[in-house]
């Protein structure tokens, strides 16, 4: 079992980045599949069915977070602490006890969502949502137990089980959803029934993901037992003590985790109703508008999913360093991950804004909601910063602060929705989301600076990265204008889905390449960051120096930076 015995532990920043890379790749694949599953739902069933699904899903996520109650993060942290001390037996007991607890909370959550589906649908303002709520509720019997296994292996800093189960879960979810979508639309079913079929894909995917986790655990049993036999006979803590430790850490984490779907759920509560009240839309028209508003959300979530993977690798890494008294290592790892999050998140937000028009037409057939998508794009950088900064605070045992900051953000989201939606419509909801996540992430970063400090100041964060982003956006817009001109010359439909698909597929990698080169040229990315790329940094840095592409940046060692 990788990471389960002292001899297999690999210390330092390279292990952290390798874990991030594994989970990041899995997250990217999973989210890409998740995005692809929503495209046929909108394309085939229309914006109303997509709107119902988008309104229902945050309720499921909220109840799921209530069911897991921060326990996977607690398992990851506590297992990493026991592993750092060589207490492999206690690490396994933490996993076993948390599995029992999560099974119970999952059953309770299923009963709550299934029985309360009608009431929740009335809150949303659409009776058609009831079917989808009941359909997705069955996943609550499965996902919490799977989450316990992921937390256990992440605590051992073995990210492969989580990565594999994520990809399998999402692949099965997409396959089942598309199969049901084709069947139900072909049968002429209602939008509510189609949305329920889409939601059931989550149940099938969860079952597949759990099966993978159980298979990996069974396969790893001989190696795990060997590690336990060779470890010292440490004092065995009573189950009640371990359970209290799990719950004590989990509760503030749970509060912070719950607020994230609450922020998303605020739109489900307020947006359709405010559109009906302030703009005189019917319920069906309001859900149609909600579907248009939700178009940009999967793309933003694709970015934040990458950083959720980073945070999953970061919490046990910071906890291990803290237990071992390596305070400087804690500060350097936190600094590195925040810096990478800011760089990549800023580029993703600016890039999505620049290519919103061709991407919207490529994915959703028309340009409706393009301005909203451009605004929503800026949620990516702030939600990503919030995810990573929350993980840092959890890793240094300040787990209550992110919960407080997210509660402030949720209150801000409600107030701004009430003020802006009647005036700006769905664009008002988009702006309120950007402001809310910006507030939460900035409050978290301020707390990190207070408790452990950061190497980089605001001047460094605002200078070189912004220069690289502005260069990228200008180059992308120039090339997009050129592609539009080329379409006219060739007699192609510059506003059609085909040409915009070509444009998007050209502009996205082009923008990424320009940002990478601009970051190297400005020194926003230096040798220290590149040396942390698993298996590539040692070859890449000399090559870039020979090509005169690597300038500026810090010259610390990779380990020092981590």
**Most confident region among 2-16, 298-312, 360-374 by mean pLDDT:** 360-374
pLDDT at 313: 56
Tell me: pLDDT of 54 over 90: no
Tell me: pLDDT of 540 over 90: no
Tokens 């000399």, residue located: 542
476 by Cβ neighbours in 10 Å (0-12 / 13-18 / 19+) ranks as buried
Phi and psi at 212, nearest 5°, equal -65, -45
Distance CA(146)–CA(169), nearest Å, equals 10
All residues at 6 or more sequence positions from 486 whose CB lies less than 8 Å from its CB, including other chains: none
Residue 452 or residue 112, greater confidence: 112
126 domain-assigned: yes
pLDDT at 315: 56
Q: What is the 3-class SS of 138-181, one letter each residue?
A: HHHHCHHHHHHHHHHHHHCCCCHHHHHHHHHHHHHHHHHHHHHH
Phi and psi at 541, nearest 5°, equal -60, -50
pLDDT at 217: 86
SS3 call for 87: coil
Radius of gyration of the chain (CA): 24
**How many alpha carbons lie under 13 Å from residue 277 in its C-beta half-sphere?**
11
Q: What is the mean pLDDT of the chain?
A: 79
Q: What is the pLDDT of residues 410-451, one digit of tens each?
A: 999 999 999 999 999 999 999 999 999 999 999 998 898 888
500 domain-assigned: no
105 domain-assigned: yes
As a whole number, mean pLDDT of residues 521-532 equals 68
Per-residue pLDDT band at 11 (split at 50, 70, 90): very low
Distance CA(196)–CA(55), nearest Å, equals 12
Per-residue pLDDT band at 456 (split at 50, 70, 90): low
Distance CA(348)–CA(299), nearest Å, equals 10
pLDDT at 460: 66
Residue 64 or residue 513, greater confidence: 513
- CA 545 and chain centroid, separation: 34
Per-residue pLDDT band at 357 (split at 50, 70, 90): very high
- Biggest alpha carbon–alpha carbon distance for the chain: 78
pLDDT at 230: 60
Q: What is the pLDDT of residues 236-247, one digit of tens each?
A: 667 777 777 777
As a whole number, mean pLDDT of residues 253-269 equals 71
pLDDT at 13: 47
**How many alpha carbons lie under 13 Å from residue 176 in its C-beta half-sphere?**
21
All residues at 6 or more sequence positions from 310 whose CB lies less than 8 Å from its CB, including other chains: 20, 23, 24, 337, 340, 341, 387, 388, 391
Smallest Cα–Cα separation from 349: which of 402, 413, 417, 302?
A: 302
Tell me: pLDDT of 71 over 80: no
476 domain-assigned: no
pLDDT at 114: 92
As a whole number, mean pLDDT of residues 105-131 equals 86
Distance CA(185)–CA(287), nearest Å, equals 19
pLDDT at 310: 57
As a whole number, mean pLDDT of residues 482-504 equals 90
493 domain-assigned: no
All residues at 6 or more sequence positions from 445 whose CB lies less than 8 Å from its CB, including other chains: 338, 385, 389, 454
As a whole number, mean pLDDT of residues 508-522 equals 87
pLDDT at 555: 41
472 domain-assigned: no
CA distances from 195 to 129, 203, 443 (A): 8, 14, 37
Domain interval for residue 48: 10-231+239-456
Q: What is the pLDDT of residues 196-219, one digit of tens each?
A: 888 898 899 999 999 998 998 888
Least confident of 99-103, 257-261, 368-372: 257-261
Least confident of 329-333, 369-373, 524-528: 524-528
User: With the CA atoms of 354, 307, 411 and 262 taken in that order, what torsion angle do they form, in degrees rounded to the nearest 10?
Assistant: 110
> Domain tally for the chain?
1
All residues at 6 or more sequence positions from 370 whose CB lies less than 8 Å from its CB, including other chains: 356, 357, 360
pLDDT at 493: 86
Tell me: pLDDT of 510 over 90: yes
Per-residue pLDDT band at 24 (split at 50, 70, 90): low
pLDDT at 78: 80
519 domain-assigned: no
- CA 459 and chain centroid, separation: 28
CA distances from 119 to 25, 134, 373, 529, 550 (A): 39, 12, 31, 51, 59
Smallest Cα–Cα separation from 559: which of 21, 14, 84, 8?
A: 14
2 domain-assigned: no
Per-residue pLDDT band at 147 (split at 50, 70, 90): confident
pLDDT at 311: 57
Tell me: pLDDT of 299 over 60: yes
**Global pTM?**
0.67
């Amino acid at each position: 079992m990788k990471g389960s015995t002292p001899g297999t532990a690999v210390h330092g920043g390279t292990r952290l980045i390798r874990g991030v890379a594994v989970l990041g790749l899995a997250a990217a694949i999973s989210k890409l599949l998740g995005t692809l599953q929503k495209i046929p739902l909108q394309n085939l069933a229309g914006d109303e069915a997509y709107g119902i699904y988008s309104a229902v899903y945050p309720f499921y996520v909220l109840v799921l977070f209530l069911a897991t109650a921060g326990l996977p993060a607690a398992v990851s942290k506590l297992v990493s602490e026991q592993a750092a001390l060589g207490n492999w037996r206690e690490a396994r007991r933490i996993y076993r006890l948390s599995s029992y607890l999560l099974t119970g909370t999952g059953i309770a959550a299923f009963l709550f969502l299934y029985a309360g589906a009608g009431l929740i649908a009335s809150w949303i303002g659409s009776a058609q949502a009831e079917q989808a709520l009941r359909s997705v509720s069955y996943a609550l019997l499965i996902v919490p137990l799977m989450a316990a296994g992921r937390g256990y292996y992440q605590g051992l800093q073995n990210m492969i089980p989580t990565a594999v189960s994520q990809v399998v879960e999402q692949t099965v979810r997409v396959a089942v959803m598309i199969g049901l979508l084709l069947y139900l639309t072909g049968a002429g079913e209602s939008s509510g029934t189609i949305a329920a079929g889409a939601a059931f894909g989550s149940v099938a995917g969860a079952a597949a993901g759990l099966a993978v986790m159980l298979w990996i655990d069974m396969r790893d049993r001989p190696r795990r037992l060997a590690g336990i036999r060779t470890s010292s006979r440490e004092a065995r803590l009573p189950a009640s003590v371990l359970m209290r430790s799990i719950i004590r850490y989990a509760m503030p984490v749970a509060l912070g985790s719950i607020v994230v779907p609450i922020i998303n759920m605020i739109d489900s509560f307020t947006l359709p109703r405010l559109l009906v009240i302030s703009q005189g839309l019917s319920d069906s028209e309001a859900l149609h508008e909600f579907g248009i508003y939700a178009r940009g959300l999967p793309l933003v979530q694709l970015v934040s999913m990458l950083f959720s993977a980073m945070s999953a690798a970061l919490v046990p890494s910071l906890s291990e360093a803290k237990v071992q008294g390596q305070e400087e290592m804690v500060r350097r790892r936190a600094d590195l991950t925040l810096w990478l999050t800011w760089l990549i998140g800023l580029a993703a937000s600016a890039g999505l804004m620049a290519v919103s028009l061709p991407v919207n037409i490529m994915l959703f057939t028309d340009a409706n909601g393009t301005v909203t998508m451009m605004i929503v794009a800026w949620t990516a950088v702030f939600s990503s910063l919030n995810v990573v900064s929350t993980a840092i605070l959890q890793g240094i045992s300040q787990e209550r602060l992110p919960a407080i900051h997210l509660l402030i953000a949720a209150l801000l989201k409600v107030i701004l929705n009430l003020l802006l939606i009647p005036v700006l419509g769905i664009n008002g909801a988009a702006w309120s989301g950007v402001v809310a996540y910006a507030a939460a992430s900035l409050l978290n970063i301020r707390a990190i600076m207070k408790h452990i400090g950061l190497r980089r100041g605001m001047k460094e964060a605002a200078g070189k990265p912004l220069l690289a982003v502005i260069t990228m956006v200008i180059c992308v817009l120039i090339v997009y204008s050129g592609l539009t001109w080329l379409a006219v010359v060739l007699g192609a439909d510059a506003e059609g889905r085909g040409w915009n698909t070509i444009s998007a597929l050209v502009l996205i990698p082009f923008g990424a390449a320009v940002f990478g080169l601009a970051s190297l040229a400005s020194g926003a990315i230096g040798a220290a960051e590149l040396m942390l790329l698993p298996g590539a940094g040692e070859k890449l840095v000399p090559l870039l120096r020979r090509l005169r592409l690597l300038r500026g940046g810090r010259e610390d060692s990779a380990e020092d930076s981590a």
